[in-house]
Structure 1
Amino acid sequence: MAEGNYVKADLTLLGKDHIHAYQDTDGEVGYLWNGVPTLLLTTVGRRTGARRTTALIFARDGDDYLVVASTGGSPRDPDWYLNLSANPAVEIQVRAQHLQVVARTASDDEKPRLWKIVTDVWPNYDLYQSRTTRRIPVVVLSPA
């Protein structure tokens, strides 16, 4: 396992608590999580049509935002990834800024470069990839 750069995460702000704190404070609480930046991603449920919001670590590549569908190395893709795959027009909140973006999965050709960018922000992604045979996607969120 790739544990050399593993960072033990403080999980005190997680899930709905993270999302509500971020929304209520325009990111004053929750933007930085374990020393790394997070955004809120809102997708539309592929079966329910309900809006779903998830807090995710992100990196930047020019004007694009990068997120990783890792779920800690789970064998299945996270629901938010399945939702945006079905409907790539999504919304993000970065601190107080709300942006409409279009999501796409990084191509095989661009993924190595983008993987380096995201693992520079959160080295644990390498460990997560070692935990699963699933090829963990990097998602590019481009302003609409």
Structure 2
Amino acid sequence: MSTESAAAISAVRRDWVAEHRESYLRSGGAEGHIMDITAVGGRSFATNCLVKYVGRKSGKVFITPLCYADIGGEVVICASKGGADHHPAWYLNIVEADEVEFQIATQAFRGTWREPEGTERQKVWDFFVDCHPFYATYQASTDRILPLVMMSAVEAIPVFKESDATGTRQY
């Protein structure tokens, strides 16, 4: 995908993503977890989580809403950036961290993360695309392999609040 195409997708998504994030946070997770995203090629009951991480350069805290799937008791997210030719900032920040914080509906967790490899990666990818079909289109639009991140809960933590974020990510 060209830089221009990625920028166009980003401009269209920016307001929607920001509104989704705010709704999820303001409701404590009661809203925003399940969404109808059929308009963008998704499912009518698509699952969404929040991921909280620290910027590797800025040191600021960011909270990003992402589609997820649950496979084998692990939460899987995809670093697609809409099929752009470069990784999203959230992914670059997570791979620099030892742990990850994520929220599913009204429950938040501190946990570990890993990237599946080999045959496991293919199995997870197939499952993820079955849950969120538009990710196949994202993969087809770039030469990079879209990373998958699998998160496992270690301990429950308080749900995220808007005030937890000290930085605002541009989408």
Same fold (TM over 0.5): yes
AA matched with 2:73: D
Which secondary structure state, in structure 1, belongs to the residue aligned with residue 118 of structure 2?
coil
Which secondary structure state, in structure 2, belongs to the residue aligned with residue 80 of structure 1?
helix
Residues 1-144 of structure 1 aligned to structure 2 (within 5 Å) = 14-33=16-35, 34=37, 35=44, 36-144=46-154
Unaligned runs of 5+ in 2: 1-12, 38-43, 155-171
Number of residue-to-residue matches in the alignment:
135
- The answer to whether the Cα contact below 8 Å between 1:31 and 1:39 also exists between their aligned partners in 2 is yes
Unaligned runs of 5+ in 1: 1-10
AA matched with 1:52: F
Residue 12 of structure 1: CA displacement? Answer: 9.3
**Runs of 4+ with deviation above 6 angstroms:** none
Residue 13 of structure 1: CA displacement? Answer: 6.8
AA matched with 2:21: I
Counterpart Cα distance in 1 of 2:143 and 2:112: 27
The alignment's C-alpha RMSD in Å is: 1.8
Residue 45 of structure 1: CA displacement? Answer: 0.7
Which has the larger share of helix? Answer: 2
Question: 2:165 maps to which residue?
Answer: none
AA matched with 2:147: P
AA matched with 2:69: A
TM-score relative to the length of structure 1: 0.87
- The answer to whether the Cα contact below 8 Å between 2:78 and 2:149 also exists between their aligned partners in 1 is yes
